[in-house]
Structure 1
Amino acid sequence: MPAYKPLSPEKLDEALQALSALPGATYAEAGSGYRAKDGTLAIVGSDTLTELLPDILQAYARRAPDVRFTTDLRGSSTAMPALSAGTSLIAPMGREAWQNDIDAFRQVKGYAPTRIRIAYASHGPRPDGKTPPAIYVNASNPVSGLTMEQVRRIFAAGADGGDIADWGQLQGAPHSDRSAPIHVYGARDDGGFGTAMRLSKLDGLPFSARYRSMASGKAILAAVAADPLAIGYATWMDAGDAPAGVRVLPLSKRQGSPYVLPAADGHRGEWPISYFFNVYVDARPEPGSGSRTAPEAKALLRFLLSDQGQSIIARHSREENGYLPLDSANLAEERAKVEAL
């Protein structure tokens, strides 16, 4: 395979100039980075934020009237490349950065981007908006829930406690016959959602040999609906995409904890496979003094995690993407991370 190298500053300027000439492109002028000549700051990121982020920036403008932004919200896949190239102040994403996103940033900068969680990504199950990533079983399956330890032992190979291969190994299993196999379905391990799930939710373990890779979330749920012995881990599902023959399986963080769903209630932070509205920032490590990031980015992050910022997020919770404010524990963690930047 060819050995790719980062572009030189001159070549990078040429590439950005070419991108700026494309129809509809709003990249900053070559050489100016995320700050335009008039001082406006560019933000490139997720198309799931087209209603929420402008509302937040409008409120922020009342607090900091001298700070102005332009937004280019065409998808999470645009966020990290723009942060890597220095053409976006922050990288707002409706998902976790995939490994290839992080590797590309590290190739350019020599260190990884810093992730700040801003809100929970969606809630459900619900018929009028996106349901967040969840584990599904056939609607006839009586299993009441799983712990995250059990999830890892079903979906991954080599988890502590040994693999769970048969329904009879679980309490409340659909078949008393201990040999009834668990049919495991999920996304492809191709650097996208499936890989990110494996790395962040399955402790980086390889998928089980029983794991059947599917092309899409709809394909996973169709397989689960048709198979009483199936279990599937699916990505965000649009309203109406989940067939009648499946249900979201409640989960718990650990043995003895209550089983919960990713519902819009006070227990949203207890859902153990939560995904987030994330903001990634360029925080260059500074020997002896932590890290260094743009002061405008830090100020905006403080606002996003402020009581006012979180209340704006709550007002948008019934929209299709349905972001929810963080609970007190997660909020305290992220505020501390921002102050350390």
Structure 2
Amino acid sequence: MGNHFHPAKVLCFIVLLFSVPLQAKLIDYQKQPSLRGQINSVGSDTLSTLMDEWVSEFTRLYPRVNIQVQASGSSTAVPALTEGTARFGPMSRPMRDSEIDAFKQAHGYPPVQLKVAIDAVAVYVNSRNPIDALTIGEIDAIFSATRRCGLPQSIRKWQQLGVSEDWSQRTIQSLGRNSVSGTYAQFKDLALCQGDFHRQVNEMPGSASVVESVGRDISAIGYSGAGYETSSTKIIGVIGFDNQVTYPIYQDIVGDRYPLSRYLYLYINKAPNIPMQAAEREFLKYIFSSEGQAIVEKVGYIAVSPEVAESELSKISSASLGE
């Protein structure tokens, strides 16, 4: 282990993270003459900013469409969809088999899964922290009780990572999301090699609160979505199993090099062969349009490819959309 000083070109990093080249072949959205309706969405906190931006722009086009968004965690999407209190369920992880089974038992058909964006779970430290990158094994040893990624002992002090004397006796304060969060589940799978968190990880209710807390505590380290960096925090590189330093930036994510990246999902309660409401149909078309995916990049995520956009919309055929 070591302190892994891999100086990053900060300006370049920011540009790459937030100015991803938009795919040229995404279809422009065509506004309809008139539209009204109601959409209820319950689910991921990670997708809250993205959903809010989509809703803001869509309702600007269609003032008579009322969209209610409740962002209380990915796990809350499943009961809302199953019980019928919402027809849209944003999730930052795939539904589990048991969740799909519960939905099918209630409705007689499975929910429709749509990949709406690409996200990366980032590891944050305080901006004053000298660490610039960590291996997957070190991240696992900091956050987990099981250390399935290979290190023989837990890491609880910054001294164990080879930092300077000023930091040598500081105890690591580890922060993360709560168990209803899809980010929690994804980090558990990807960074802990499907192991378990140790009890000292301080669970936070929201993505932004994790990063804000890291910014207030120079001894802290936390994980959250990649779009939440502040002036008092920094995103560190992740050294994968191939010993390459990678970051949650476009080139590393789409090149399948960054080990903590994932799709973000929108699950739909859509009965086969029954037309969707016009407002729901148009909202989905907007999400996968060039304008909708430009918003994905605006908030710090990665747009899906034109091929993915076409494939996801094809899951709901023109006939079943009522066109």
| TM-score, normalised by the number of residues in structure 1 | 0.54
1:207/1:113 CA distance change after superposition, 3 Å? farther
CA distance, structure 1, for counterparts of residue 180 and residue 126 of structure 2:
27
- SS for the counterpart of 1:160 is coil
SS in 1 for 2:246: coil
Residues 193 and 318 of structure 1, relative CA distance in 2, 3 Å threshold: closer
1:231 aligns with 2:216: no
Structure 1 letter corresponding to 2:132: S
Structure 1 residue 280 displacement after superposition: 0.6
Distance in 2 between the 1:135 and 1:208 partners?
A: 17
Q: 1:251/1:160 Cα in 2 relative to 1: closer, same or farther (>3 Å)?
A: closer
Give the structure 1 partner of residue 198 of structure 2.
Answer: 208
Whether 1:43 and 2:39 are equivalent positions in the alignment is yes
Is it true that 1:260 corresponds to 2:247 in the alignment?
A: yes
Deviations 1:62-106 (A, max 9, x none): xxxxxxx94423223485555324465x5252744798x948747
Q: Cα gap change, 1:215/1:191 in structure 2, threshold over 3 Å: closer, same or farther?
A: closer
Out of 67, 72, 95, which is 1:72 matched to?
67
> Which is greater in Rg?
1
Shift of 1:232: 1.9
* Cα distance in 2 between the residues matched to 1:112 and 1:148: 35
The 3-state SS of whatever aligns with 1:187 is strand
The answer for the alignment partner of 1:325 in structure 2 is 303
1:187 to 171, 176, 184: 176
Question: 1:278 and 2:269 equivalent?
Answer: no
Counterpart amino acid of residue 247 in structure 2: V
Specify every segment of 5 or more residues in structure 1 that has no aligned partner in the other structure, as ranges: 1-38, 62-68, 122-131, 285-291
Q: Is the 8 A contact 2:113 2:265 kept in 1?
A: yes
Mapped to 1, the partners of 2:286 and 2:136 lie a distance apart of 30
Counterpart mapping for 1:37-116 below 5 A: 42-45=38-41, 48=49, 49-53=51-55, 70-77=65-72, 80-86=78-84, 88=86, 90-93=87-90, 95-96=92-93, 102=99, 105=103, 108-109=106-107, 113-116=111-114
How far, CA to CA, are the matches of 2:78 and 2:260 in structure 1? Answer: 23
Code of the residue aligned with 1:187 in structure 2: it is G
Gap change, CA 1:41 and 1:257, over 3 Å in 2: farther
> Relative to 1, partners in 2 of residues 1:196 and 1:151: Cα closer, same or farther, differing over 3 Å?
same
C-alpha distance in structure 1 between counterparts of 2:56 and 2:199, whole Å: 45
Q: CA RMSD in A?
A: 5.0
Matches of 1:218 and 1:74 in 2, distance apart?
19
Deviation at 1:42, TM superposition (A): 4.6
- Which residue is equivalent to 1:4? none
1:140 aligns with 2:119: no
Contact 1:133 1:237 in 2 (8 A): no
1:315 aligns with 2:297: no
Matched residue type, 1:139: S
CA contact (8 A) 2:91 2:267 kept: no
Write the mapping of 1:163-178 to structure 2, written as runs, cut at 5 A. 163-165=153-155, 167=158, 170=161, 173-175=162-164
Residue by residue, what CA displacement relative to the aligned partner does 1:249-305 show, whole Å, maximum 9, x if unpaired?
A: 12255433342134xx44454554346552113478xxxxxxx58665998798468
In the alignment, is residue 196 of structure 1 matched against residue 185 of structure 2? yes
Q: Which whole-Å CA distance do the structure 1 matches of 2:293 and 2:312 have between them?
A: 22
**Contact 2:293–2:304 (CA<8 Å) still a contact in 1?**
no
Listed one character per residue, the Cα deviations across residues 288-324 of structure 1 (whole Å, up to 9, x for unaligned) are: xxxx58665998798468xxx35213432575x4554
Quick one: structure 1 residues 283 and 147, their matched pair in 2 at CA, closer, same or farther if it must change by over 3 Å?
farther
Q: Which runs of 5+ in 2 are unaligned?
A: 1-34, 43-47, 317-323
Query: Higher relative contact order by CA 8 Å / sep ≥ 6: 1 or 2?
Result: 2
Letter in 1 for 2:291: I
Equivalent residues, number: 261
Q: 1:57 to 1:335 in 2, by over 3 A?
A: farther
TM-score normalised by the chain length of structure 2: 0.56
Alpha carbons of 1:92 and 1:140: their partners in 2 closer, same or farther (altered >3 Å)? same
- Distance in 2 between residues matched to 1:192 and 1:208, nearest whole Å: 17
Q: What's the offset of the Cα at 1:161? A: 0.7
CA separation of 1:112/1:296 partners in 2, compared to 1, >3 Å: closer, same or farther? closer
- What is the rounded CA distance, in whole Å, between the counterparts of 2:304 and 2:202 in structure 1? 34
SS in structure 2 at match of 1:191: coil
Q: 1:199 to 1:267 in 2, by over 3 A?
A: closer
Distance 1:192 1:227 in 2: 25
